[in-house]
Structure 1
């Protein structure tokens, strides 16, 4: 199945992932994440220097899939 592509496509993985990234940022303590700014870039640590967890991993996978699949 081919999906139509256009610059205004509602199936943009970046656009669909953005609310999930905002969820990461707003729930960082509960998800045991670390959000910090490095050289003007937002960095979300999901388990390198913090505990992280299953829920953080699921949300991370959802972001990587651009919100286009259920994890």
Structure 2
């Protein structure tokens, strides 16, 4: 019951990469050399804040303040 015009055609297109080298910049997870989503796995140790950054931090809330805030949010 199906005619020739109802059949689907499929084509194989070439891959846009010139070669299969994963180290080539701009390809795969290496775009921008350690940038993007995979960049977090190339860290070089802990981030140590400067004294200026430490001084600009807010003081942590007390347990009572945190409990009061939790009650407000859970209403």
TM-score if structure 2 supplies the norm length? Answer: 0.22
- Structure 1 or 2: more strand by fraction: 1
Report which of the two structures shows the higher radius of gyration computed on alpha carbons.
2
